[in-house]
Structures are given as C-alpha cells and as structure tokens.
Amino acid sequence: MSKPQLPTPITLAQIQEVVGGTIHGDSQTPISGLTSLGQADPQALSFITNDKMSKAAANLPVAALLVHRHLSDLAVPQIVVDNPMLAFARVAQTFFVRPQAPRGVAEQVTQGADVRIGADPSIWPFVTLGDRVTIGNRVTLYPGVFVGSDSTIGDDSVLYPNVVVREGCTLGARVIIHSGTVIGADGFGYVQHQGRHHKIPQLGGVVIEDDVELGANVTVDRATFGRTMVKRGTKVDNLVQIAHNVTVGEHCILVAQVGIAGSTTIGHHVMIGGQAGLSDHLTIGDQVMIAAKSGVNRSVESNQIVGGIPAMPREKALRVQGVIFQLPELKQLVRDLEQRVATLETRMKKTPGRIARTQAARSNKR
C-alpha cells in the first residue's frame, strides 16, 4: 500500500476537533497525508512521542506534528496532546480509512438451513455458512470464509479471506480475524492405551469476545468440554497457538509465535513476548509481563515481570543472562583451578613424611 494521501487536504483545525490538544502555529495548515519521521513529506502529518524523537525531526520537512509537549525550537506547526501516537491513530482512522459500502450477499455464497443474516452485510463469493449460523449487522466475510453450524458472528465483525470458524463457536462484536486463522479446531487431546493414541472427542466450543483482533494463521482450539475463551479487547499477533480450554483475559497482548498449552488461565492486561511458551494448567495473574522466548512452566502471580528458560523474575533472569556471556572465561577459570589443585595434590603425595612430622610437632607443642 502506498503512502496514505487525501484527494482534498484537511486543516490542522479539523484534526484538533478529532484529537483535542493545543495548536501552536497556523491552524489552517493543509494536511494531505500521513508519514513517519523516517520519511519526509512536506504535505503530511507526523508525530513525536518523546524528546529523543524530536532530534530526528529537526531537519525533516513535514507539514505538522502531533507532539507530547510544545517544541519551540521546531518551526513546524504542532498540536500538543497527551498521547501523540494515539492521536495519530485516531487521525488515520477518521480521515484516511475509507468506509466500505455494504455489498450484500453474493450469489455464490453457500448457505445451510435456518441461516440468519443481519442488516447491511458484505458477504463475498465462495463463503460457506453452515446450518443455524447467525450473522450480525454490518458483518464482512471475504472469499473463502467458512462458518460452521450453530456459530455466531457479532455486529461489525470482519473475517478476511480463508478464515475458518468451526461449528459451535461464538464471535462478539467488532471482532477482526485475519487470513488463515482457524477457530474451533479440535483440541490436542489423546489417551494412550497399549501403545496407541486414542482420540478424546473435543465437544466444547470457542468464545471470542468483543473487540478482539486475531492475526494471520492463529489457531484457537475448541475445548474438550466447556469453552476456550479470548476475552474482550485482547489483541493476538500472527502464528499464535491457543490450546483447548485456555482462557485469555481482557486486553491482553500476545505477540507472534506464542504457544499456550491446554487449560492455562491468563489474567487481564497480560503481555506475552514473541515465541514465549506456556505450559498447561497454569494460572498467570493480572498485568504480568512475560519476555520473548520465555519458557513458563509454573504459575505467575499478578504484577510480575518474568523471563528466561525456565521463566524467573526479571532481575534474576538478567543476572543469569549476564553469567551466560561469561561462560567461556568461567570455563577457563575452572580448568586453571583444576590444574592448580592437581599440582597441590601431587606435591602432597610426594612429601607424606614431612606432613606427618609437621603434624606431630604441632601436637607436642600443645
């Protein structure tokens, strides 16, 4: 996608109406695009979140800036707001995201029995809807989407091409699911008997609450019994695995390639870094931060920061990491000490009489 541009410029005053804040400079400055500080564009709006970024903007031609405080040394017009990045996102959403007119239901859609579709849908060709599927208002389903029987898609949700929602799953309102994601695949449940793995039927479902976004190729497995749940406001990056009977709390962040094993419960506002792995049947408290590549094999209390393999408190993990970088020197030190001890032992074996006489002399003095 090319750099976002408007056919008709807007003014800084119009932007202030959306984001609030205080204007410093010409309120009628025209804005026709958005840009980052790394790309010059004299007609575009950019943003600065801290003083370090302000140095990069000193010689960069942009039309105006959203800033965290007034930067008097910059001649460019500015709007001072509490959170420039959030303000920038609101500007992009308000002025640069084009609303799509409803397309209706394409002729090439396959529908089962008793399907209910809400007002103003956009259901593209080659979508499949099973029996008793309920689609809310203003839902967009792109080509290749499959929604299994007895599933529900809430209002204003968007499912991109080739998303699969298996039978008996529920998606809330304003849910966004990116391409290739599978919701409601069978959980990985088997029982071993006489050397063979026997499948345990996965009879539960999946609930995705309001305002959840799942990236591309995410898998959320159905519960064995009950439900696997991703609660409202949580954002999940690409290639994340959420196993059967897991509960992910409200407003969590799961970065790419995170894996969460079955029946683990995660609190609200938890942040899990990329490629972290969580074992099964754990409880992760509220507002926990788990560093990238961590291996979590024990439950974590609320408000903790952990990292490492196995995961441990951040301060200890940093010390362990520091020692790892010194291992070659420590290995050489151990070798040197081993040689010194061996030399001393050899000397002691060669002079046993002298040692005995010394010990006897000490005893006589006592």
CA atoms within 13 A on the CB side of 155: 2
The pLDDT score that the predictor gives to residue 364 is 65
Domain ranges of the chain: 5-96, 104-317, 327-365
Active site residues: 244
CA distance 273 to 286: 15
CA distance 313 to 111: 52
Range 5-96 has CATH code 3.40.1390.10:
yes
pLDDT in tens, 316-347: 888 888 888 899 999 999 999 999 999 998 88
- pTM across the whole model: 0.87
CA distance 52 to 36: 15
Q: Which amino acid, residue 275?
A: Q
Task: Using 50 as the pLDDT threshold, list the residues of the chain that sit under it.
Answer: 1
CA distance 182 to 201: 18
The pLDDT score that the predictor gives to residue 152 is 98
The pLDDT score that the predictor gives to residue 4 is 81
Which strand (E) or helix (H) includes residue 10? Answer: strand 5-11
CA-based nearest residue to 204, from 225, 183, 230: 225
CATH number of 104-317: 2.160.10.10
Alpha helices in 209-326 (DSSP H): 314-325
The pLDDT score that the predictor gives to residue 151 is 98
